[in-house]
């Protein structure tokens, strides 16, 4: 069997695994990181239906015996850096995808290190020995297949997709495993009696385009045929950070969209501050009921990572699209901050009108110690939640 040379390495339940590593008494027990929103869950907690981004209260109902621990972002950043040092010692061709995953190209290492599968196995052992964390690795010809393989191998596994068997492996998967297939697209495919990637691969590209739209149809057709021309890119840092939230069909008033937007801005700016980056281009993305999309952006005169400053701009952008939202409906809202820089945020003048950086720092510290739900804005809380809950002004 011929092995591909792309590795996808993905830490297992990263935040939860770090907590278990640092407190061995948690091993084998259901662990949830984050109080207000689940940031990570151990596999023992996932067995009860707990998953990332779930409301903390719902998670505790599903798994009342769970041990909830506050997030420690500085510790996770330190662990991530240690893992990426292992990646760099394995191969110089490393493309970081996020804090806990990366693609590695090992095609030029066969004479020095052996077959890609042997390199992947040693990588898993090195991460466990040097950092104390479990990691899963997929090996394949393309980045897409390697990522699927690593997901299939979890927890703490290794899966090699031989080049001769890649279509057999791919076509047996449910259509939901294709990148870009969410609930709406999956429903369309199932309605057309397309359950597996193999079913989808039998369609002509023009048929898929007619079924799910131009860009999506061409994209899914290529993936179903095993085509992914992307190579491992080294040295490219992310130019933007963003988040999005599907809100489903139905009437949504401006206040409901504002609450969703606030949560997204809060999440994105916290991530930016955690890695010391600022940005100057704020973008709000919308998806309407007819599945068309809209993007509105504004560029600031100076980069920032302040939640309040980004939120003010994002709210203004959202309000400019409100008449269209009322007319066409909205099923998804997203926000991103682009033109990222490694420079710290600069205070604007006059100083009295500038955002106070100490407020963001204080809130980050409180959330790191007591959980992401320890401090929230009043509009994010129900009446029952507000009792005894520290809140921020709207």
Beta-ladder partners of 102: 9, 96
- The Cα–Cα gap between 21 and 194 comes to 42
Catalytic residue numbers? 101
| Tokens 């939230």 found at | 245
Beta-ladder partners of 7: 104, 139
Cα angle for residues 286, 288, 289 (degrees, 5° grid): 155
**Strand pairing report for 40-41 and 332-338:** unpaired
Q: What is the Cα 200 distance to its own chain's centre?
A: 26
- The Cα–Cα gap between 269 and 309 comes to 10
Q: Token pair for residue 376?
A: 């929230």
- How far are the Cα atoms of 68, 274, 367, 373 from residue 74, in angstroms, in the given order? 18, 7, 12, 18
- The Cα–Cα gap between 296 and 281 comes to 10
**Strand pairing report for 279-287 and 293-304:** antiparallel
């Amino acid at each position: 069997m011929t092995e591909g040379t792309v590795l996808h390495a993905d830490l297992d339940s990263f935040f939860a695994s770090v907590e278990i590593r640092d407190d061995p008494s948690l091993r084998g027990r259901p662990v949830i990181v984050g109080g207000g929103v689940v940031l990570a869950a151990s596999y023992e907690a996932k067995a009860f239906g707990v998953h990332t981004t779930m409301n903390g209260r719902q998670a505790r109902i599903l798994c009342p015996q769970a041990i909830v621990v506050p997030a420690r972002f500085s510790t996770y950043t330190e662990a991530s850096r240690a893992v990426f040092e292992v990646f760099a010692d394995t191969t110089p061709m490393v493309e970081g995808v996020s804090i806990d995953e990366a693609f590695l190209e090992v095609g030029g290492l066969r004479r020095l290190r052996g077959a890609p599968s042997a390199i992947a196995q040693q990588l898993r052992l090195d991460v466990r020995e040097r950092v104390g964390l479990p990691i899963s690795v997929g090996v394949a010809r393309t980045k897409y297949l390697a990522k699927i393989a690593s997901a299939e191998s979890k927890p703490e596994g290794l899966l090699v997709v031989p080049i001769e068997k890649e279509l057999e492996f791919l076509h047996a998967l449910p259509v939901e495993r294709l990148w870009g297939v969410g609930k709406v697209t999956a429903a369309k495919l199932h309605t057309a009696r397309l359950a597996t990637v193999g079913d989808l691969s039998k369609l002509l590209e023009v048929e898929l385009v007619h079924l799910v739209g131009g860009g999506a149809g061409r994209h899914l057709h290529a993936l179903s045929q095993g085509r992914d021309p992307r190579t491992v890119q080294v040295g490219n840092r992310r130019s933007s950070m963003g988040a999005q939230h599907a809100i489903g069909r139905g009437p949504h008033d401006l206040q409901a969209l504002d609450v969703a937007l606030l949560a997204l801005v809060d999440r994105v700016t916290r991530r930016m501050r955690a890695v010391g980056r600022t940005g100057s281009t704020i973008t709000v993305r919308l998806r309407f009921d007819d599945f068309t999309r809209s993007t509105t952006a504004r560029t600031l005169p100076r980069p920032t990572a302040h939640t309040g400053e980004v939120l003010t701009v994002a709210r203004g952008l959202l309000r400019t699209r409100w008449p269209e939202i009322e007319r066409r409906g909205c099923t998804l809202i997203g926000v991103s901050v682009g033109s990222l820089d490694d420079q710290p945020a600069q205070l604007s003048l006059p100083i009295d009108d500038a955002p106070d950086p100490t407020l963001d720092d204080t809130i980050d510290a409180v959330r790191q110690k007591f959980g992401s739900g320890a401090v929230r804005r009043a509009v994010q809380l129900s009446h029952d939640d507000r009792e005894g809950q520290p809140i921020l002004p709207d």
